[in-house]
Amino acid sequence: MRKLFGTDGIRAVAGEAPLDAKTIYAVGLALAHQLNGSHPHPRVLLGMDTRESSEWIAATIAAGLAEGGAHVESAGVVTTPAIAFLARQHGFSAGVVISASHNPWQDNGIKVFGNDGYKLPDETELRIETEIFRRLENVDAPQPGSAPAVNEKYRAEYEQFLRSAVPGLDLTGLRVVLDCANGAASAIAPELFEHLGGNIHLTHASPDGHNINANCGALHPEVVAAETKSLGADLGVTFDGDADRAMLADANGKVVNGDAVMLLAARDMKQRDLLRNGTVVATTMSNMGLEAALRRDGIRMLRAPVGDKYVLERMQQEQASLGGEQSGHILFPHLATTGDGLLTALVVLDVIRRSGRSLHELVADLKVFPQVIVNVRVREKKPLDEITTVTDTIHAAEAELAESGRVVVRYSGTEALARVMIEAESEEAMRRHADCIAAAIRAELGA
């Protein structure tokens, strides 16, 4: 069991363990040592989001990496998928992103990509963790320093990659609202979309270190949806703090999530003979309505555990060319190695342009089963199958819902939360079972 790494790297309140200076420095030392085993002269590329703490965390981990013998360069404020692309493109031994994605500004995190542009396997993270704990016994954090100087060429190169990934895209005649979540997309989206034509309306693109994800971004898609409808725009797009995912809104002000994006992308890719094995890989959180809609088009849907790295693993096993999460992480492995919110937006806009249909028309037949997610803050992540009162409540819900619904109960990989997801044809049954299971968890593990 990993203790530091969750489903998306290390994440915590900045300045508190395991994101205190001593542990961050140890992470740099441990990562450099791991890289030295396979790369004679390791090189690491750093990127970060717009949080107040990102700069000092980047400087601290860079000091650890340098002390461990790695050469460190910085791309500055860029998106997470930018680092994945650039690490692979330039043959870096690893790419490191300082970001806590959709979390509030007080939090931060460390994400690591290998030189192939993919997130590290669980077993590699476990090896690094073991070394981190060993080094913590006899290491002191250095005095605060400066992060490496930013090389602006990396950001420009990533923007060029995005333009080339969807060649010939012209947004002339379209009005698009972009919510940058006051995060990393703020550094890239304005210039990227300026070169694509169209009428672009930017919101939440003025980061101040404290306003990332604050009542905006992919965690609050209703904000861009309302703005899209108010402005009479054709489409709204909203990113999270590090822009590795995107949520959308149609002209009617309706939120269009990752399930709907997978549906329209799957149909388009099937039509162009790009959907390998006629398969889409989603997660346990994707709605039953998506599965039904894909089935009508002769497309098979498989489910992986939550976390885009696990979706990708299943995609590789099945040789699938499309996968993703309801939360907006969409994977196009023929284009990129990881989820990319900006790329997803461009792909959707390209489908709209080529089809001549609106976003609403492209996903109008997706009939969503009523779904609710209840988050329960917990003091510890004790295995749920060891708690009889919780398992009995889950089994009762599953028995009643049978084929007319789904029950998914899991811990968050990045926060101290238990997530209870219920889908059902009956909204009353959905809410009743969700509340009962949440109450059982709260009684046993509530913080």
Which residue has 């593990």 as its token pair? 445
How confident is the model at residue 144, as a pLDDT?
Answer: 78
**Residues annotated catalytic, as ranges:** 101
Give the separation between CA 197 and CA 185, rounded to whole angstroms: 18
Quick: pLDDT tens for 382-423: 999 999 999 999 999 999 998 788 999 999 988 899 999 999
Q: 34: which 2 tokens?
A: 């791991």
Q: 417: which 2 tokens?
A: 């939360």
Tell me which residues of the chain have a pLDDT lower than 50: none
How confident is the model at residue 258, as a pLDDT?
Answer: 98
How confident is the model at residue 40, as a pLDDT?
Answer: 84
CA atoms within 13 A on the CB side of 205: 18
Q: Tell me the sheet residues that pair with 238.
A: 179, 247
Backbone angles phi and psi of 334, in degrees to 5: -75, -10
How confident is the model at residue 402, as a pLDDT?
Answer: 86
Q: How far is CA 290 from the centre of its chain?
A: 20
Exposure string of 3-33, with b = 16+ CB inside 10 Å and e = fewer, is ebbbbbbbbbbbeeebbbbbbbbbbbbbbbb
Q: Tell me the sheet residues that pair with 420.
A: 374, 409
Give the separation between CA 39 and CA 93, rounded to whole angstroms: 7
Give the separation between CA 161 and CA 56, rounded to whole angstroms: 29
User: Omega of the bond prior to 148 within 30 degrees of 0, cis?
Assistant: no
Give the separation between CA 239 and CA 339, rounded to whole angstroms: 12
Give the separation between CA 393 and CA 437, rounded to whole angstroms: 6
Beta sheet of 371-377, edge-to-edge order: 371-377, 417-424, 405-411
Nearest residue to 5 via CA among 386, 304, 283, 307? 307
How confident is the model at residue 274, as a pLDDT?
Answer: 97
Residues 6+ positions from 402 with CB-CB distance below 8 Å: none
How confident is the model at residue 1, as a pLDDT?
Answer: 72
How confident is the model at residue 26, as a pLDDT?
Answer: 97
User: All domains of the chain, ordered by start, with CATH?
Assistant: 5-151 (3.40.120.10), 159-251 (3.40.120.10), 256-339+357-363 (3.40.120.10), 371-445 (3.30.310.50)
How confident is the model at residue 443, as a pLDDT?
Answer: 96
How confident is the model at residue 404, as a pLDDT?
Answer: 81
Give the separation between CA 14 and CA 355, rounded to whole angstroms: 46
Q: What is the full DSSP assignment across 19-87?
A: SSHHHHHHHHHHHHHHHHTT-SS-EEEEEE-S-TTHHHHHHHHHHHHHHTT-EEEEEEE--HHHHHHHH
Quick: pLDDT tens for 57-68: 999 999 999 999
Do 176 and 224 contact (CB within 8 A), yes or no? no
